[in-house]
Amino acid sequence: MKESILDIYGFKNVAQVNRNLTTPALYEAIVKRSEGIIAHLGPVVVRTGHHTGRSANDKYIVDLPSTSDVYWSKDNKPISKESFEKIYSKIKAYLQTKEIFVQDCYAGSDEETRLKVRVISEYAWHSLFARNMFIRELNKENLENFKPDFTVIDLPRFHANPDEDGTNSETFIIVNFEEKLVLIGGTSYAGEIKKSIFTVMNYLLPKKDIMSMHCSANVGENGDVALFFGLSGTGKTTLSTDPERYLIGDDEHGWNDSGVFNIEGGCYAKVINLSKEAEPDIYETTRKFGTVLENVAIDVETRRIDLDDDSLTENTRASYPITHLPKIIEDGKGKHPKNIIFLTYDAFGVLPPVAKLSKEQAMYHFVSGYTAKVAGTEKGVTEPKAVFSACFGAPFMVHHPFRYAELLGERITKHDVTCWLVNTGLTGGPYGVGDRFKIKHTRAIIKSILNGSLEKSAFVRNEVFGFGIPKEIPGIPENVVHPELAWEDKDKYNESLKNLAKNFVENFKKFQSDDKTDIAKGGPNI
Protein backbone atom coordinates (compact mmCIF):
# COMPACT_ATOMS: atom_id res chain seq x y z
CA MET A 1 0.00 0.00 0.00
CA LYS A 2 1.40 3.37 -0.98
CA GLU A 3 2.19 5.82 1.76
CA SER A 4 0.08 8.46 -0.02
CA ILE A 5 -3.07 6.39 0.54
CA LEU A 6 -2.49 6.46 4.29
CA ASP A 7 -1.76 10.17 4.14
CA ILE A 8 -5.41 10.98 3.42
CA TYR A 9 -6.14 9.83 6.99
CA GLY A 10 -3.19 11.65 8.50
CA PHE A 11 -1.50 8.39 9.55
CA LYS A 12 2.28 8.55 9.94
CA ASN A 13 5.00 6.03 10.79
CA VAL A 14 2.76 2.97 10.51
CA ALA A 15 4.97 -0.09 10.91
CA GLN A 16 3.33 -2.29 8.25
CA VAL A 17 0.25 -2.14 6.06
CA ASN A 18 -1.33 -5.38 4.85
CA ARG A 19 -3.67 -4.38 2.06
CA ASN A 20 -6.34 -6.68 0.65
CA LEU A 21 -4.83 -9.91 1.89
CA THR A 22 -6.58 -13.05 0.66
CA THR A 23 -8.37 -15.41 3.05
CA PRO A 24 -5.42 -17.89 3.29
CA ALA A 25 -2.99 -15.02 3.94
CA LEU A 26 -5.26 -13.65 6.67
CA TYR A 27 -5.45 -17.13 8.22
CA GLU A 28 -1.68 -17.18 8.43
CA ALA A 29 -1.64 -13.75 10.06
CA ILE A 30 -4.37 -14.72 12.54
CA VAL A 31 -2.45 -17.78 13.69
CA LYS A 32 0.94 -16.04 13.70
CA ARG A 33 -0.45 -13.18 15.81
CA SER A 34 -2.31 -15.61 18.16
CA GLU A 35 -5.64 -13.96 17.37
CA GLY A 36 -7.47 -17.26 16.89
CA ILE A 37 -7.11 -20.98 16.30
CA ILE A 38 -8.10 -23.18 13.38
CA ALA A 39 -10.84 -25.67 14.15
CA HIS A 40 -11.56 -29.10 12.68
CA LEU A 41 -12.36 -28.83 8.94
CA GLY A 42 -11.11 -25.26 8.68
CA PRO A 43 -13.09 -22.47 10.36
CA VAL A 44 -11.14 -20.06 12.54
CA VAL A 45 -12.32 -19.60 16.14
CA VAL A 46 -11.84 -16.23 17.85
CA ARG A 47 -12.80 -14.51 21.09
CA THR A 48 -14.26 -11.02 21.38
CA GLY A 49 -13.44 -10.55 25.05
CA HIS A 50 -15.63 -8.38 27.25
CA HIS A 51 -17.98 -7.36 24.44
CA THR A 52 -19.89 -10.32 23.03
CA GLY A 53 -22.54 -8.15 21.35
CA ARG A 54 -23.15 -4.62 20.16
CA SER A 55 -22.53 -1.70 22.52
CA ALA A 56 -25.78 0.15 21.92
CA ASN A 57 -25.06 2.88 24.47
CA ASP A 58 -21.71 3.71 22.87
CA LYS A 59 -22.83 4.48 19.33
CA TYR A 60 -22.85 8.10 18.15
CA ILE A 61 -23.41 10.28 15.10
CA VAL A 62 -21.41 13.49 14.84
CA ASP A 63 -23.81 16.43 15.20
CA LEU A 64 -23.23 18.69 12.20
CA PRO A 65 -25.32 21.25 10.26
CA SER A 66 -25.29 18.83 7.32
CA THR A 67 -26.94 16.09 9.41
CA SER A 68 -29.96 18.10 10.52
CA ASP A 69 -32.21 15.39 9.06
CA VAL A 70 -30.98 12.76 11.55
CA TYR A 71 -33.71 11.48 13.87
CA TRP A 72 -32.02 12.00 17.23
CA SER A 73 -33.05 9.35 19.73
CA LYS A 74 -31.61 6.87 22.20
CA ASP A 75 -30.39 4.93 19.15
CA ASN A 76 -28.97 7.98 17.37
CA LYS A 77 -27.05 9.89 20.02
CA PRO A 78 -25.21 13.06 18.99
CA ILE A 79 -21.55 13.69 19.73
CA SER A 80 -19.77 16.97 19.06
CA LYS A 81 -17.37 17.57 16.21
CA GLU A 82 -14.77 18.56 18.82
CA SER A 83 -15.05 15.18 20.57
CA PHE A 84 -14.72 13.37 17.25
CA GLU A 85 -11.61 15.35 16.33
CA LYS A 86 -10.06 14.77 19.76
CA ILE A 87 -10.52 11.01 19.51
CA TYR A 88 -9.34 10.96 15.89
CA SER A 89 -6.20 12.87 16.85
CA LYS A 90 -5.45 10.30 19.56
CA ILE A 91 -6.02 7.48 17.06
CA LYS A 92 -3.42 8.98 14.71
CA ALA A 93 -0.90 8.95 17.52
CA TYR A 94 -1.90 5.43 18.59
CA LEU A 95 -1.33 3.97 15.12
CA GLN A 96 2.29 5.05 14.93
CA THR A 97 4.51 1.92 14.84
CA LYS A 98 1.42 -0.32 14.59
CA GLU A 99 0.77 -3.01 11.97
CA ILE A 100 -2.61 -2.59 10.26
CA PHE A 101 -4.83 -4.50 7.87
CA VAL A 102 -6.86 -2.96 5.05
CA GLN A 103 -9.77 -4.40 3.07
CA ASP A 104 -11.31 -2.53 0.14
CA CYS A 105 -14.82 -3.72 -0.68
CA TYR A 106 -18.40 -2.65 -1.40
CA ALA A 107 -21.73 -2.28 0.38
CA GLY A 108 -24.61 -2.82 -2.02
CA SER A 109 -25.12 -5.19 -4.95
CA ASP A 110 -26.70 -2.39 -6.97
CA GLU A 111 -23.79 -0.92 -8.93
CA GLU A 112 -25.39 2.53 -9.23
CA THR A 113 -25.79 3.12 -5.50
CA ARG A 114 -23.16 0.86 -3.95
CA LEU A 115 -20.76 2.33 -1.42
CA LYS A 116 -17.02 1.86 -1.76
CA VAL A 117 -15.93 0.84 1.73
CA ARG A 118 -12.42 0.66 3.20
CA VAL A 119 -11.96 -1.14 6.52
CA ILE A 120 -8.73 -0.38 8.39
CA SER A 121 -8.26 -2.68 11.38
CA GLU A 122 -5.57 -3.66 13.86
CA TYR A 123 -6.76 -7.29 13.98
CA ALA A 124 -6.21 -9.67 11.08
CA TRP A 125 -9.41 -11.52 11.95
CA HIS A 126 -11.43 -8.32 11.72
CA SER A 127 -10.03 -7.89 8.22
CA LEU A 128 -11.21 -11.41 7.39
CA PHE A 129 -14.62 -10.57 8.88
CA ALA A 130 -14.84 -7.51 6.59
CA ARG A 131 -13.78 -9.64 3.63
CA ASN A 132 -16.58 -12.09 4.44
CA MET A 133 -19.33 -9.59 5.16
CA PHE A 134 -18.90 -7.03 2.40
CA ILE A 135 -18.86 -7.53 -1.37
CA ARG A 136 -15.39 -8.32 -2.66
CA GLU A 137 -13.58 -6.59 -5.52
CA LEU A 138 -11.55 -9.28 -7.29
CA ASN A 139 -10.00 -7.13 -10.04
CA LYS A 140 -6.43 -6.27 -9.00
CA GLU A 141 -6.32 -3.05 -11.01
CA ASN A 142 -9.58 -1.84 -9.45
CA LEU A 143 -8.22 -2.64 -6.00
CA GLU A 144 -5.01 -0.77 -6.69
CA ASN A 145 -6.95 2.35 -7.75
CA PHE A 146 -9.68 1.97 -5.11
CA LYS A 147 -10.89 5.28 -3.65
CA PRO A 148 -13.31 4.74 -0.76
CA ASP A 149 -16.57 6.57 -0.26
CA PHE A 150 -16.51 5.66 3.43
CA THR A 151 -13.79 4.33 5.73
CA VAL A 152 -14.09 2.33 8.94
CA ILE A 153 -11.14 2.64 11.33
CA ASP A 154 -11.46 -0.27 13.74
CA LEU A 155 -9.14 -0.36 16.77
CA PRO A 156 -10.33 -2.70 19.56
CA ARG A 157 -7.30 -2.01 21.77
CA PHE A 158 -7.70 1.76 21.65
CA HIS A 159 -9.91 3.13 24.41
CA ALA A 160 -11.51 6.53 24.85
CA ASN A 161 -11.29 8.58 28.01
CA PRO A 162 -14.91 9.47 28.82
CA ASP A 163 -13.94 12.48 30.93
CA GLU A 164 -11.89 13.97 28.10
CA ASP A 165 -13.60 12.66 24.98
CA GLY A 166 -17.31 13.10 25.68
CA THR A 167 -18.13 9.40 25.41
CA ASN A 168 -20.27 7.22 27.65
CA SER A 169 -17.45 4.74 28.29
CA GLU A 170 -14.10 3.64 26.92
CA THR A 171 -15.95 2.07 23.99
CA PHE A 172 -17.17 4.10 21.01
CA ILE A 173 -18.68 3.69 17.55
CA ILE A 174 -18.79 7.12 15.92
CA VAL A 175 -20.19 7.88 12.45
CA ASN A 176 -19.14 11.14 10.80
CA PHE A 177 -21.14 11.71 7.61
CA GLU A 178 -19.17 14.81 6.68
CA GLU A 179 -15.71 13.25 6.98
CA LYS A 180 -17.09 9.92 5.68
CA LEU A 181 -15.45 8.09 8.56
CA VAL A 182 -16.46 5.56 11.18
CA LEU A 183 -14.28 5.28 14.28
CA ILE A 184 -14.56 2.12 16.41
CA GLY A 185 -12.62 1.54 19.60
CA GLY A 186 -12.72 -0.40 22.83
CA THR A 187 -14.63 -3.41 21.47
CA SER A 188 -13.54 -6.55 19.63
CA TYR A 189 -17.09 -7.48 18.62
CA ALA A 190 -16.79 -7.51 14.83
CA GLY A 191 -20.51 -6.96 14.28
CA GLU A 192 -19.92 -3.26 14.95
CA ILE A 193 -18.06 -3.04 11.61
CA LYS A 194 -20.92 -4.31 9.49
CA LYS A 195 -23.65 -2.53 11.43
CA SER A 196 -21.89 0.83 11.25
CA ILE A 197 -21.85 0.66 7.46
CA PHE A 198 -25.47 -0.52 7.48
CA THR A 199 -26.23 2.62 9.50
CA VAL A 200 -24.52 4.68 6.78
CA MET A 201 -26.59 2.97 4.07
CA ASN A 202 -29.77 3.56 6.07
CA TYR A 203 -28.97 7.27 5.95
CA LEU A 204 -27.89 7.54 2.31
CA LEU A 205 -30.35 5.26 0.46
CA PRO A 206 -33.65 6.90 1.60
CA LYS A 207 -32.25 10.26 0.46
CA LYS A 208 -32.33 8.68 -3.02
CA ASP A 209 -35.87 7.33 -2.47
CA ILE A 210 -34.48 3.82 -2.05
CA MET A 211 -35.80 1.80 0.87
CA SER A 212 -33.15 0.27 3.13
CA MET A 213 -34.28 -2.74 5.14
CA HIS A 214 -33.11 -4.89 8.04
CA CYS A 215 -34.45 -8.13 6.61
CA SER A 216 -33.70 -11.42 4.87
CA ALA A 217 -34.70 -12.06 1.27
CA ASN A 218 -35.08 -15.18 -0.83
CA VAL A 219 -36.55 -16.13 -4.19
CA GLY A 220 -38.39 -19.15 -5.55
CA GLU A 221 -37.87 -21.09 -8.76
CA ASN A 222 -40.40 -18.82 -10.50
CA GLY A 223 -38.61 -15.63 -9.47
CA ASP A 224 -41.03 -14.70 -6.67
CA VAL A 225 -39.19 -12.72 -4.00
CA ALA A 226 -40.07 -12.76 -0.29
CA LEU A 227 -38.80 -10.48 2.47
CA PHE A 228 -38.51 -11.59 6.11
CA PHE A 229 -38.37 -8.93 8.84
CA GLY A 230 -37.85 -9.92 12.46
CA LEU A 231 -35.83 -9.23 15.59
CA SER A 232 -33.37 -11.67 17.14
CA GLY A 233 -34.91 -15.00 18.08
CA THR A 234 -37.88 -14.82 15.71
CA GLY A 235 -36.42 -17.21 13.12
CA LYS A 236 -35.47 -14.76 10.36
CA THR A 237 -32.28 -16.56 9.32
CA THR A 238 -33.74 -20.04 9.81
CA LEU A 239 -36.88 -19.44 7.75
CA SER A 240 -35.24 -17.48 4.94
CA THR A 241 -32.48 -20.09 4.45
CA ASP A 242 -34.93 -22.43 2.75
CA PRO A 243 -33.59 -25.47 0.83
CA GLU A 244 -36.42 -25.04 -1.70
CA ARG A 245 -35.53 -21.40 -2.43
CA TYR A 246 -32.51 -19.28 -3.31
CA LEU A 247 -31.11 -16.84 -0.74
CA ILE A 248 -30.54 -13.25 -1.85
CA GLY A 249 -29.23 -12.23 1.57
CA ASP A 250 -29.89 -12.82 5.26
CA ASP A 251 -29.79 -9.42 6.94
CA GLU A 252 -29.50 -6.16 4.96
CA HIS A 253 -31.24 -5.14 1.73
CA GLY A 254 -32.23 -2.20 -0.41
CA TRP A 255 -35.37 -1.84 -2.55
CA ASN A 256 -35.12 0.41 -5.60
CA ASP A 257 -37.10 0.85 -8.83
CA SER A 258 -35.68 -2.39 -10.21
CA GLY A 259 -36.33 -4.60 -7.19
CA VAL A 260 -34.49 -5.89 -4.14
CA PHE A 261 -30.71 -6.03 -3.73
CA ASN A 262 -28.41 -7.38 -1.03
CA ILE A 263 -26.23 -4.83 0.74
CA GLU A 264 -23.79 -7.49 1.94
CA GLY A 265 -21.64 -10.25 0.51
CA GLY A 266 -21.82 -12.56 3.50
CA CYS A 267 -23.88 -13.81 6.42
CA TYR A 268 -23.54 -13.33 10.17
CA ALA A 269 -25.59 -16.11 11.70
CA LYS A 270 -26.28 -16.81 15.34
CA VAL A 271 -25.16 -20.43 15.88
CA ILE A 272 -25.97 -21.30 19.49
CA ASN A 273 -27.64 -24.74 19.57
CA LEU A 274 -27.44 -24.95 15.78
CA SER A 275 -28.21 -28.49 14.61
CA LYS A 276 -27.45 -30.36 11.43
CA GLU A 277 -31.02 -31.67 11.32
CA ALA A 278 -32.89 -28.36 11.75
CA GLU A 279 -30.58 -26.04 9.79
CA PRO A 280 -28.29 -28.18 7.62
CA ASP A 281 -27.06 -25.44 5.29
CA ILE A 282 -26.03 -23.01 8.04
CA TYR A 283 -24.60 -25.89 10.07
CA GLU A 284 -22.27 -26.81 7.21
CA THR A 285 -20.84 -23.28 7.11
CA THR A 286 -19.47 -23.83 10.64
CA ARG A 287 -17.28 -26.59 9.19
CA LYS A 288 -15.74 -24.66 6.30
CA PHE A 289 -12.50 -22.83 5.62
CA GLY A 290 -13.01 -19.07 5.62
CA THR A 291 -15.73 -19.02 8.28
CA VAL A 292 -15.03 -16.95 11.40
CA LEU A 293 -16.61 -18.40 14.57
CA GLU A 294 -17.00 -15.84 17.36
CA ASN A 295 -17.01 -17.10 20.95
CA VAL A 296 -17.85 -20.67 19.93
CA ALA A 297 -16.53 -23.28 22.38
CA ILE A 298 -13.70 -25.45 21.10
CA ASP A 299 -11.68 -28.37 22.44
CA VAL A 300 -8.11 -27.12 22.11
CA GLU A 301 -6.75 -30.67 21.72
CA THR A 302 -9.16 -32.15 19.16
CA ARG A 303 -10.03 -28.74 17.67
CA ARG A 304 -13.67 -29.73 17.47
CA ILE A 305 -16.31 -27.11 18.21
CA ASP A 306 -19.35 -27.37 20.48
CA LEU A 307 -22.25 -25.29 19.18
CA ASP A 308 -24.37 -26.07 22.26
CA ASP A 309 -21.91 -24.50 24.71
CA ASP A 310 -23.01 -21.01 25.80
CA SER A 311 -20.41 -20.59 28.55
CA LEU A 312 -19.01 -17.45 26.89
CA THR A 313 -22.25 -16.04 25.49
CA GLU A 314 -25.52 -17.07 23.90
CA ASN A 315 -24.64 -14.72 21.06
CA THR A 316 -22.20 -17.09 19.37
CA ARG A 317 -21.79 -16.12 15.72
CA ALA A 318 -20.54 -17.41 12.39
CA SER A 319 -19.36 -14.98 9.72
CA TYR A 320 -19.04 -16.51 6.27
CA PRO A 321 -19.25 -15.49 2.61
CA ILE A 322 -22.68 -16.15 1.15
CA THR A 323 -21.01 -18.47 -1.37
CA HIS A 324 -20.64 -20.99 1.48
CA LEU A 325 -24.38 -21.70 1.05
CA PRO A 326 -25.57 -24.07 -1.70
CA LYS A 327 -28.54 -22.10 -3.10
CA ILE A 328 -27.93 -18.39 -3.53
CA ILE A 329 -28.50 -15.57 -6.00
CA GLU A 330 -24.91 -14.78 -6.91
CA ASP A 331 -25.46 -11.21 -8.10
CA GLY A 332 -27.48 -10.43 -4.95
CA LYS A 333 -30.50 -9.04 -6.82
CA GLY A 334 -34.16 -9.98 -7.13
CA LYS A 335 -37.44 -8.66 -8.52
CA HIS A 336 -39.95 -6.67 -6.50
CA PRO A 337 -41.20 -8.83 -3.61
CA LYS A 338 -44.49 -10.66 -3.86
CA ASN A 339 -44.76 -11.25 -0.11
CA ILE A 340 -43.46 -9.46 2.99
CA ILE A 341 -43.41 -11.43 6.23
CA PHE A 342 -43.06 -9.78 9.64
CA LEU A 343 -41.84 -12.37 12.14
CA THR A 344 -42.50 -12.04 15.84
CA TYR A 345 -41.95 -14.20 18.90
CA ASP A 346 -45.02 -13.55 21.02
CA ALA A 347 -44.21 -14.78 24.55
CA PHE A 348 -47.73 -13.83 25.70
CA GLY A 349 -49.18 -16.61 23.56
CA VAL A 350 -52.05 -14.60 22.08
CA LEU A 351 -51.12 -13.76 18.48
CA PRO A 352 -52.09 -16.23 15.76
CA PRO A 353 -49.42 -18.17 13.87
CA VAL A 354 -50.24 -16.12 10.77
CA ALA A 355 -52.35 -13.06 9.96
CA LYS A 356 -52.86 -11.12 6.74
CA LEU A 357 -52.21 -7.38 6.98
CA SER A 358 -53.62 -4.46 5.04
CA LYS A 359 -51.17 -1.83 3.80
CA GLU A 360 -52.00 0.42 6.77
CA GLN A 361 -51.57 -2.45 9.22
CA ALA A 362 -48.28 -3.40 7.58
CA MET A 363 -46.96 0.14 8.00
CA TYR A 364 -48.09 0.19 11.64
CA HIS A 365 -46.50 -3.17 12.49
CA PHE A 366 -43.35 -2.14 10.60
CA VAL A 367 -43.02 1.04 12.68
CA SER A 368 -43.78 -0.96 15.85
CA GLY A 369 -41.29 -3.79 15.21
CA TYR A 370 -42.75 -6.03 17.91
CA THR A 371 -41.45 -9.16 19.56
CA ALA A 372 -41.54 -10.34 23.17
CA LYS A 373 -38.87 -11.73 25.41
CA VAL A 374 -38.77 -13.39 28.78
CA ALA A 375 -37.10 -10.72 30.85
CA GLY A 376 -34.39 -11.48 33.37
CA THR A 377 -34.86 -15.22 33.71
CA GLU A 378 -31.39 -15.45 35.23
CA LYS A 379 -32.80 -13.57 38.24
CA GLY A 380 -35.93 -15.69 38.43
CA VAL A 381 -38.25 -13.26 36.66
CA THR A 382 -40.38 -15.20 34.19
CA GLU A 383 -42.96 -12.66 33.05
CA PRO A 384 -42.82 -11.97 29.31
CA LYS A 385 -41.89 -8.45 28.24
CA ALA A 386 -42.98 -6.68 25.06
CA VAL A 387 -40.06 -5.35 23.00
CA PHE A 388 -40.45 -2.81 20.20
CA SER A 389 -37.75 -1.85 17.71
CA ALA A 390 -38.91 0.52 14.98
CA CYS A 391 -38.55 -0.87 11.45
CA PHE A 392 -37.31 -4.12 13.03
CA GLY A 393 -33.91 -2.45 13.40
CA ALA A 394 -34.13 0.84 15.32
CA PRO A 395 -30.42 0.94 16.31
CA PHE A 396 -29.46 1.24 12.62
CA MET A 397 -32.18 3.55 11.29
CA VAL A 398 -30.97 7.13 11.00
CA HIS A 399 -34.11 8.87 9.68
CA HIS A 400 -37.46 9.04 11.42
CA PRO A 401 -39.19 5.60 11.32
CA PHE A 402 -42.05 7.13 9.34
CA ARG A 403 -39.67 7.86 6.46
CA TYR A 404 -38.97 4.15 6.04
CA ALA A 405 -42.66 3.32 6.59
CA GLU A 406 -43.70 5.76 3.86
CA LEU A 407 -41.25 4.13 1.44
CA LEU A 408 -42.68 0.75 2.40
CA GLY A 409 -46.28 1.88 1.90
CA GLU A 410 -45.52 3.36 -1.52
CA ARG A 411 -43.96 0.10 -2.67
CA ILE A 412 -46.72 -2.11 -1.27
CA THR A 413 -49.24 -0.14 -3.34
CA LYS A 414 -47.14 0.18 -6.49
CA HIS A 415 -46.10 -3.48 -6.66
CA ASP A 416 -49.22 -5.09 -5.14
CA VAL A 417 -47.32 -6.77 -2.29
CA THR A 418 -49.11 -9.02 0.21
CA CYS A 419 -48.04 -8.58 3.85
CA TRP A 420 -48.21 -11.10 6.67
CA LEU A 421 -47.57 -11.28 10.39
CA VAL A 422 -46.14 -14.68 11.41
CA ASN A 423 -45.84 -15.59 15.08
CA THR A 424 -43.07 -18.10 15.84
CA GLY A 425 -43.56 -17.75 19.61
CA LEU A 426 -46.00 -19.31 22.06
CA THR A 427 -49.59 -20.52 21.95
CA GLY A 428 -52.01 -21.78 24.59
CA GLY A 429 -50.77 -19.40 27.27
CA PRO A 430 -47.89 -17.11 28.22
CA TYR A 431 -44.32 -18.15 28.96
CA GLY A 432 -44.32 -20.95 31.51
CA VAL A 433 -47.76 -22.18 30.43
CA GLY A 434 -47.95 -22.14 26.66
CA ASP A 435 -45.96 -24.13 24.12
CA ARG A 436 -43.96 -22.83 21.19
CA PHE A 437 -45.48 -23.27 17.76
CA LYS A 438 -44.01 -26.36 16.14
CA ILE A 439 -41.39 -25.52 13.53
CA LYS A 440 -43.12 -27.89 11.08
CA HIS A 441 -46.30 -25.81 11.38
CA THR A 442 -44.42 -22.53 10.88
CA ARG A 443 -42.62 -23.94 7.84
CA ALA A 444 -45.94 -25.17 6.42
CA ILE A 445 -47.43 -21.69 6.89
CA ILE A 446 -44.46 -20.02 5.20
CA LYS A 447 -44.73 -22.49 2.33
CA SER A 448 -48.45 -21.78 1.90
CA ILE A 449 -47.72 -18.04 1.85
CA LEU A 450 -45.00 -18.39 -0.75
CA ASN A 451 -46.87 -20.76 -3.06
CA GLY A 452 -49.92 -18.47 -3.01
CA SER A 453 -52.38 -20.95 -1.52
CA LEU A 454 -52.89 -19.11 1.78
CA GLU A 455 -53.91 -15.88 0.08
CA LYS A 456 -56.84 -17.73 -1.49
CA SER A 457 -58.17 -18.73 1.94
CA ALA A 458 -61.20 -17.27 3.67
CA PHE A 459 -60.23 -14.95 6.53
CA VAL A 460 -61.90 -13.87 9.76
CA ARG A 461 -61.20 -10.47 11.26
CA ASN A 462 -59.55 -10.23 14.68
CA GLU A 463 -61.65 -7.68 16.60
CA VAL A 464 -58.72 -6.23 18.56
CA PHE A 465 -55.91 -6.03 15.98
CA GLY A 466 -58.09 -5.91 12.89
CA PHE A 467 -55.95 -8.26 10.81
CA GLY A 468 -57.29 -11.30 8.97
CA ILE A 469 -56.80 -14.82 10.32
CA PRO A 470 -57.30 -17.78 7.95
CA LYS A 471 -60.38 -19.81 8.82
CA GLU A 472 -58.36 -22.93 8.24
CA ILE A 473 -54.98 -24.06 6.94
CA PRO A 474 -54.78 -27.59 5.50
CA GLY A 475 -52.67 -29.88 7.67
CA ILE A 476 -52.61 -27.55 10.69
CA PRO A 477 -54.95 -28.12 13.68
CA GLU A 478 -57.71 -25.57 14.24
CA ASN A 479 -56.50 -24.78 17.78
CA VAL A 480 -53.12 -23.83 16.30
CA VAL A 481 -54.57 -21.53 13.63
CA HIS A 482 -56.86 -19.88 16.19
CA PRO A 483 -54.93 -19.50 19.48
CA GLU A 484 -58.00 -18.69 21.60
CA LEU A 485 -58.99 -22.36 21.15
CA ALA A 486 -55.70 -23.47 22.70
CA TRP A 487 -56.31 -21.51 25.92
CA GLU A 488 -58.19 -23.22 28.74
CA ASP A 489 -59.43 -19.90 30.08
CA LYS A 490 -60.94 -17.82 27.26
CA ASP A 491 -61.39 -14.77 29.49
CA LYS A 492 -57.68 -14.77 30.29
CA TYR A 493 -56.92 -15.04 26.59
CA ASN A 494 -59.06 -11.99 25.77
CA GLU A 495 -57.54 -10.02 28.64
CA SER A 496 -53.99 -10.89 27.53
CA LEU A 497 -54.76 -10.00 23.92
CA LYS A 498 -56.08 -6.58 24.94
CA ASN A 499 -53.09 -6.00 27.24
CA LEU A 500 -50.75 -6.70 24.34
CA ALA A 501 -52.73 -4.27 22.18
CA LYS A 502 -52.33 -1.63 24.92
CA ASN A 503 -48.56 -2.18 24.77
CA PHE A 504 -48.66 -1.45 21.04
CA VAL A 505 -50.69 1.73 21.57
CA GLU A 506 -48.44 2.92 24.39
CA ASN A 507 -45.31 2.34 22.31
CA PHE A 508 -46.77 4.21 19.33
CA LYS A 509 -47.47 7.30 21.44
CA LYS A 510 -43.86 8.40 21.07
CA PHE A 511 -44.49 8.82 17.33
CA GLN A 512 -48.05 10.12 17.55
CA SER A 513 -47.28 13.83 17.10
CA ASP A 514 -45.32 13.08 13.91
CA ASP A 515 -48.05 10.94 12.32
CA LYS A 516 -49.03 12.91 9.22
CA THR A 517 -50.05 9.87 7.17
CA ASP A 518 -52.41 8.25 9.70
CA ILE A 519 -50.21 5.21 10.24
CA ALA A 520 -51.94 4.85 13.61
CA LYS A 521 -55.11 3.74 11.76
CA GLY A 522 -53.38 0.41 11.14
CA GLY A 523 -53.07 -0.22 14.87
CA PRO A 524 -55.26 -2.19 17.29
CA ASN A 525 -58.72 -1.07 18.36
CA ILE A 526 -59.08 -1.04 22.15
Among the listed residues 195, 333, 399, 482, the single catalytic one is 195
Distance of alpha carbon 249 from alpha carbon 268, whole angstroms:
10
Which of 359, 355, 334 minimizes the C-alpha distance to 346?
355
Question: What is the number of residues in the chain?
Answer: 526
- Other Cβ atoms less than 10 A from the Cβ of 355: the count is 23
- Alpha-carbon distance of 430 to 84, in angstroms, equals 46
Find all residues with CB under 8 Å of 6, minimum gap 6, and list them.
12, 14, 17
Q: Is 7 designated active site?
A: no
CA distances from 309 to 2, 287, 305, 364, 427 (A): 45, 16, 9, 38, 28
Could you say which of 48, 52, 54, 240 is catalytic?
54
Catalytic-labelled residue, pool 19, 114, 118, 214? 214
| Angle at which helices 124-133 and 23-32 cross, to 10° | 150
Helix (H, G, I), strand (E, B) or coil at 155: strand
Strand partners, 185: 155, 172
Any catalytic annotation for residue 127? no
Q: Which member of 159, 317, 356, 403 is catalytic?
A: 317
For residues 127 and 149, give the distance between their C-alpha atoms in angstroms, rounded to a whole number. 18
Name the catalytic one among 109, 127, 237, 238.
237
75, 165, 250, 251: the catalytic one is 251
Going by C-alpha positions, the residue among 179, 11, 10 that lies closest to residue 79 is 179
Active site residue 214: yes
Note if 236 is an active site residue. Answer: yes
Listed residue (143, 155, 146, 261) closest to 201, CA to CA: 261
CA atoms within 13 A on the CB side of 10: 11
317 is catalytic: yes
DSSP 301-335: TT--EETT--SS-S--EEEEEGGGSSSB-TT-EE-
Catalytic site includes residue 251: yes
Could you say which of 23, 113, 232, 313 is catalytic?
A: 232
Active-site residue, 309 included: no
Catalytic residue numbers read 54, 195, 214, 232, 236-237, 251, 317
